[in-house]
């Protein structure tokens, strides 16, 4: 039975980005409303580029001063963290009910963060994720187990993703670009900068961004949780030293050897854990199958044991992200 | 002072859409993560197309069984209804605090609803909204009053939009297509279909969709509020008769004669009010300047009197959208 969520308020905002001007574009004549006359459209002018959308839930009585920022993966949006595709409460609700203020954002170019014209502003074309691609990359089943008809799909035997809701997951996909990493990191830094301290829980590509931002702003990031991150960013000695000041938890599901992408991503992250530990940092990698928890996909926040995985993270945060204190301007954290 | 918002839960979901398959697309080789090896990308396969994202806030103790669905305008997302660009509570929070469950959605192809490849799936190119376009179309000031530098902009004298936050408004813009009206209406119908009855509060282009859906599903729409709608859909006799069963409120800000688009949009809507009234329907148009309320832009939910405008709508709903009742499976409405 879910308890109610008492909120002080629900805020949303865009952070980051800057004005870009387009010039010398041809004037178009376009039908912009189904039964209105066509009108001229002038692409010349100013656009906001590189902004990031976030929705901030503030509890009436948070147990912690430090909000949890949820950062999604590639071709996804903040919807990742909301209700699961089979209608169970997502981690955003679970963390709210655990007493954390929560910030769910969309990465630059995704969802409500918007995207900019190309080739005029972005310098490459977008990529789109097919159901076939997701079936294999997200480790739902063997690559040849996908079929358009749900009845004909073959998932892994112990699969914990609610496989009958796979199309609901795929309805969440958004196009992505591969050339906006710097814009994205800059906007994420602006997001972190809205708060005194943050905890970041990040998934997949978002985990890459989170590790990067933790190393750039170690005094602001109380802890970082990397859920199946897309590897680890290359870091020089000083970036690594900075990162080692931030507790890192890495978490992996099952079947990681089934898709060629996950083998190097996982080994890069494990090597990063060793580097952080060698510098005296707190860094841990949890391999769920090695703990006897089998069948998790790339989407543990949606799998049928998503609440248990959340508990693992909440427990780790309680141990490693400093004692949480009632609100005020002082922070026990550090 | 804002009271707290006690929620039973926060749900999100995608509705509508269907699987589309692309075939015969060339294989690409793409760098998809900043420091991973390039990998091959195959556009062939299945996509979800035409889905719509919604976030549903359910109060612990709603005063009404009937949720308020907020539908945004062109080149915007559900962010329209959230926090104002100058950080005041948006109408979604105001309606929650007034006891209504609230559903904030993104139209098909916008925000978290995602968009599909073109020309492969969509049959036209996207449009982008410049700051210049918005300055004039949203009636911030005279067309030649825009400048890239906020200090050099000239707004209308009585302007109620928080003009220093104009760039924050523009950060909310998303690209749009002009050829997806049928897909959008279909998805909005699926959204309405998730509920027994709904109230729809819609803005601009969303107002066009809302009038259309009200005429297609009059038994499900308890009332429809059109905030500066982009005209009225053409309706045959039976559609008009159906629409006349649903109370309609139209609401207009100031400066409507300043941009050529608003003159026909407004006169189309006023003609629709007369047609609905002639059939015995409840239809009303509120012209704010005629009531002595001057200076509202195209974005009254963000203007400095946004809470007062919300009160006008809440009052009208209390009179025309049937008595609100405590929850349960029975409905006093009809």
pLDDT digit string (tens) for A221-273? 999 999 999 999 999 999 999 999 999 999 999 999 988 999 999 999 999 99
User: Which residues of chain B have a CB within 8 Å of the CB of A34?
Assistant: 181, 208, 233
With an 8 Å Cβ cutoff, is B6 touching chain A?
yes
Residue B53 has pLDDT above 90, yes or no: yes
Least CA distance to B173: which residue of chain A?
A: A114
CB atoms within 10 A of CB B26: 7
The residue of chain B with its CA nearest to that of A85 is B13
User: From the CA of A237, how many Å to the nearest CA of chain B?
Assistant: 17
Q: Does A61 touch chain B (CB under 8 A)?
A: no
Look up the ipTM and state it: 0.94
A-contacting residues in B 142-161 (Cβ below 8 Å): 148
Structurally, chain B folds into a number of domains equal to 1
pLDDT class of B325 with cuts at 50, 70, 90 = low
Residues 6 or more apart in contact with residue A197 via CB below 8 angstroms = A65, A66, A220, A221, A222, A331, A333
**B81 vs B206: CA distance, rounded Å:** 12
| Whether the predicted pLDDT of B330 surpasses 50 | no
pLDDT higher than threshold 70 for residue B68: yes
Residue A331 scores a pLDDT above 50: no
CB B7 to CB A9 under 8 A? no
Which pLDDT score is estimated for B332? 36
pLDDT band at B31 (very low <50, low <70, confident <90, very high): low
Kindly identify which residue of chain B lies nearest to residue A33, measuring between CA atoms. Answer: B178
**Residue A323: band (very low, low, confident or very high) from pLDDT cuts 50, 70, 90:** low
Residue B333 lies in a domain: no
B248-252 and B221-227 beta bridge pairing: parallel
The whole-angstrom distance between A47's CA and the closest CA on chain B is 5
- Does position A300 have pLDDT exceeding 70, yes or no? yes
Residue B163 to residues A14, A112, B144, B151, B221, Cα–Cα distance (Å): 16, 22, 15, 10, 35
Decide which of A30 and A104 is more confident. A104
Cβ A334 vs Cβ A321: under 8 Å: no
In chain B, positions 166-195, which contact chain A (CB-CB < 8 Å)? Answer: 167-168, 170-175, 178, 181
Select the residue of A47, A172, A175 nearest B128 (Cβ to Cβ): A47
Instruction: Report the C-alpha gap between B10 and B96 in whole angstroms.
Output: 12
Please give the pLDDT value at position B178.
Answer: 87
Answer whether residue B326 shows pLDDT above 60. Answer: no
When scoring A26, A85, A93, A128 by the number of chain B Cβ atoms within 10 A, the one with the most, hence best to mutate, is A128
Asked if the structure places residue A86 within a domain, the reply is yes
Which tens digits make up the pLDDT trace of B102-120? Answer: 999 999 999 999 999 988 8
* pLDDT, mean of residues B310-329: 78
The predicted-structure confidence for B250-292, as pLDDT tens digits, reads as follows 999 999 998 899 999 999 999 999 999 999 999 999 999 999 9
On whether the CB atoms of residues A301 and A267 are closer than 8 A, the answer is no
Domain assignment of residue A35, yes or no:
no
Check residue B328 and give its pLDDT. Answer: 41
% chain B with pLDDT above 90:
85
Q: What is the mean pLDDT of residues A122-136?
A: 91
**Is A77 inside any structural domain?**
yes
Give the percent of chain A with pLDDT over 90: 85
Among the partner-chain residues B4, B133, B230, the one whose CB lies closest to the CB of A60 is B4
Query: Cβ B33–A114 below 8 Å, yes or no?
Result: no
Where does the pLDDT of residue A218 fall: very low under 50, low under 70, confident under 90, or very high at 90 and above? Answer: very high
Q: Is residue A72 part of a domain?
A: yes
Q: How confident is the model at residue B213 (pLDDT cuts 50, 70, 90)?
A: very high
Alpha-carbon gap, residue B27 to A311, rounded angstroms? 42
Q: Chain B contacts of A93, Cβ < 8 Å? A: 9-10
Contact B304, B174 (CB under 8 A): no
Query: What is the distance of C-alpha B241 from the center of its chain?
Result: 24
* Angular region, A292: left φ>0, alpha ψ -120 to 50, beta rest: left
Nearest Cβ partner of A7 from B7, B92, B205? B7
Q: Structural domain of residue A277, as residue ranges?
A: 62-320
Condensed to tens digits (0 to 9), the pLDDT of residues B169-198 reads 999 999 999 889 999 999 999 999 999 999
Residue A181 has pLDDT above 70, yes or no: yes
- Give the lowest-confidence range in A39-43, B32-36, B46-50, B230-234: B32-36
Q: Which of A185-194, B33-42, B137-146 has the lowest mean pLDDT?
A: B33-42
Residue B334: predicted pLDDT? 32
Spell out which residues of chain B touch residue A265, defining contact as CB-CB under 8 Å.
36
Residues of B in contact with A60 (CB under 8 A): 4
When the pLDDT of each residue in chain A is averaged and rounded to a whole number, the result is 93
In a domain, A131, yes or no: yes
Q: Touching check for A247 and chain B: CB below 8 Å? A: no
Query: Chain B partners of A78 at a C-beta cutoff of 8 Å?
Result: 112
> What does the pLDDT read at residue B333?
36
- Between CA A246 and CA A284 the distance in angstroms is 12
Spatial neighbors of B102 by CB under 8 A, at least 6 apart, are: B56, B57, B67, B68, B70, B92, B95, B96
Contacts of B231 in chain A (CB under 8 A): 33, 35-36
At B267, which CATH number?
Answer: 3.40.50.1820
Considering the domain boundaries, does residue B85 fall inside one? yes
Which of A46, A119, A126, A137 has the highest number of chain B CBs within 10 A, making it the mutation to test binding with B?
A46
Q: Which of A205, A59, A49 has its CA nearest to residue A138?
A: A205
Closest CA to B14 of B179, B194, B175, B178: B194
Q: Band of the pLDDT at B327, cuts 50, 70, 90? A: very low
Contact residues, B window 86-115, toward A, CB-based 8 Å cutoff: 87, 89-90, 92-93, 96, 106, 111-112, 114-115
The pLDDT assigned to A333 comes to 36
Write out pLDDT tens, residues A7-26.
999 999 999 999 999 999 98
Residue B3 DSSP symbol: P
Best of A1, A3, A8, A10 to disrupt the B interface (most B CBs within 10 Å) is A10
* Mean pLDDT for the stretch of residues A136-160: 97
Closest residue in chain A to residue B181, using alpha carbons only: A34
**Would you call B83 and A33 a contact, using CB atoms and an 8 Å cutoff?**
no
Q: Considering only residues A5 and B123, tell me which one the structure prediction assigns the higher pLDDT.
A: A5
CB contact under 8 A, B173 and A48: yes
Residue A328 pLDDT: 42
Which of A23-37, A136-150, B15-29 shows the lowest mean pLDDT across its residues? A23-37
Structural domain contains residue A328: no
pLDDT at B34 over 90: no
Residue of A35, A77, A230 with shortest CB distance to B112: A77
- Average pLDDT of the residues in A183-204: 98
Give pLDDT, residue B33: 56
Q: Using 50, 70 and 90 to split pLDDT, how confident is the model at A280?
A: very high
- Which tens digits make up the pLDDT trace of A57-91? 999 999 999 999 999 999 999 999 999 999 999 99
């Amino acid at each position: 039975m879910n308890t109610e969520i008492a909120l002080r308020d629900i805020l949303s905002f865009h952070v980051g980005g800057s004005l870009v001007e387009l010039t010398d574009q041809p004037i178009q004549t376009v039908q912009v409303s189904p039964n209105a006359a066509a009108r001229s459209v002038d692409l010349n002018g100013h656009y906001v580029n590189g902004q990031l959308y976030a929705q901030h839930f503030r509890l009436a009585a948070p147990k912690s001063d430090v909000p949890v920022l949820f950062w999604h993966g590639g071709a996804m949006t903040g919807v990742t963290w909301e209700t699961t595709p089979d209608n169970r409460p997502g981690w955003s609700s679970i963390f709210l009910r655990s007493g954390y203020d929560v910030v769910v954002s969309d990465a630059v170019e995704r969802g409500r963060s918007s995207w900019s014209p190309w080739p005029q502003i972005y310098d490459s074309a977008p990529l789109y994720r097919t159901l076939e691609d997701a079936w294999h990359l997200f480790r739902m089943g063997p690559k040849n187990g996908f079929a358009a008809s749900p009845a004909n799909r073959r998932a892994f035997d112990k699969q914990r993703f609610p496989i009958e809701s796979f199309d609901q997951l795929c309805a969440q996909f958004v196009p992505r670009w591969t050339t906006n990493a710097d814009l994205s990191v800059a906007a994420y830094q602006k997001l972190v900068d809205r708060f005194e301290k943050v905890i970041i829980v990040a998934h997949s590509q978002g985990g890459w961004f989170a590790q990067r931002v933790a190393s750039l702003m170690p005094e602001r990031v109380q802890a970082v949780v990397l859920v199946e991150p897309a590897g680890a960013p290359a870091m020089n000695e000083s970036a690594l030293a900075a990162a080692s000041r931030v507790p890192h938890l890495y978490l992996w599901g099952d079947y990681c050897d089934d898709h060629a992408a996950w083998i190097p991503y996982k080994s890069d992250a494990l090597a990063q854990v060793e580097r952080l530990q060698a510098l005296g940092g707190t860094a841990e990698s949890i391999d769920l199958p090695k703990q006897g928890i089998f069948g998790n996909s790339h989407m543990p926040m949606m799998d049928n044991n998503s609440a248990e995985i959340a508990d693992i993270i909440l427990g780790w945060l309680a141990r490693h992200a400093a004692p949480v204190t009632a609100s005020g301007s002082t922070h026990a954290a550090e």
